[in-house]
């Protein structure tokens, strides 16, 4: 029974991590400086609802096994009572795993906090006629972390006045000074994150 519970806990953690892997990877890419790997696990996004469901079911069943009342046969057999269960088989460990899994599943909601704020960026505009706004169609973004990753990398370029990336709309709207940065440089910065520019307007 204990081995079964350990397997359930392990399966719950793995499915929780897999459910958020597409959103964890861009943050890890940002932290490590390996921007190109940001979209590595974006193919997992369509399976995310199923992985969340598996996580909830597996951990729910593990808690049921841990909390269900013992049968008369189990009460009569006191052999298990003699030995203290290891930490890995306690409710405390299952609680830690459940909290960890919940944090992993919620990761897409709080991932943008790992990126620096670019609100204080100052750009000197010489000629207002040099200001241009372009919307890039970006393929591969699956959550807020992806959009934040694109925003962060494009904002490193000089001449960027404003960028708003949206994974829901699959776009990055960029306002920039064309005398300081070119369309091809912006496109290259977006493609450098691991996502792909498929068009612009």
Mind listing the pLDDT tens digit for each residue in 59-75? Answer: 888 888 888 887 766 66
pTM of the predicted model over 0.85: no
pLDDT digits (tens, 9 = 90+) for 43-62: 667 777 888 888 888 888 88
pLDDT digits (tens, 9 = 90+) for 29-43: 666 655 555 566 666
Closest CA to 15 of 39, 47, 46: 47
Query: Which tokens hold the place of 28?
Result: 């890890």
Closest CA to 11 of 72, 41, 56: 56
CA-based torsion, 140, 146, 147, 152: positive or negative: negative
What is the three-class DSSP state of 33? coil
- Say which residues have a Cβ less than 8 Å from residue 160's Cβ, sequence separation at least 6: 121, 123, 154, 174, 175, 176, 181, 186
How many other C-beta atoms are found inside a 10 Å radius of the C-beta of residue 139? 12
pLDDT at 52: 84
pLDDT at 82: 52
Query: Which tokens hold the place of 172?
Result: 């990055």
| Chain centroid to CA 47 | 14
CA-based torsion, 12, 15, 18, 20: positive or negative: negative
pLDDT at 121: 61
């Amino acid at each position: 029974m204990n081995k079964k519970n350990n397997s359930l806990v392990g399966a719950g953690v793995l499915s929780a991590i897999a459910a958020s892997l597409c959103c964890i990877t861009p943050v890890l890419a940002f932290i490590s400086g390996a921007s190109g790997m940001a979209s590595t696990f974006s193919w997992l996004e369509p399976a995310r609802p199923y992985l969340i469901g598996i996580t909830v079911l597996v951990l729910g069943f593990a808690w049921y096994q841990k909390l269900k009342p013992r049968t008369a046969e189990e009460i009569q057999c006191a052999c298990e009572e003699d030995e203290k269960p290891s930490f890995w088989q306690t409710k405390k460990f299952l609680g830690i795993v459940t909290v960890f899994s919940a944090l992993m599943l919620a990761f897409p909601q709080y991932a943008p906090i790992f990126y620096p704020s670019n609100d204080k960026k100052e750009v000197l505009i010489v000629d207002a006629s040099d200001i241009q706004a372009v919307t890039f169609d970006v393929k591969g973004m699956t959550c807020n972390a992806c959009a934040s990753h694109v925003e962060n990398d494009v904002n490193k370029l000089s001449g960027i006045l404003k960028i708003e990336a949206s994974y829901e709309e699959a776009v990055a709207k960029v306002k920039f000074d064309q005398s300081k940065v070119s369309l091809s440089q912006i496109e290259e910065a977006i493609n450098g994150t691991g996502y792909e520019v498929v068009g612009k307007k």
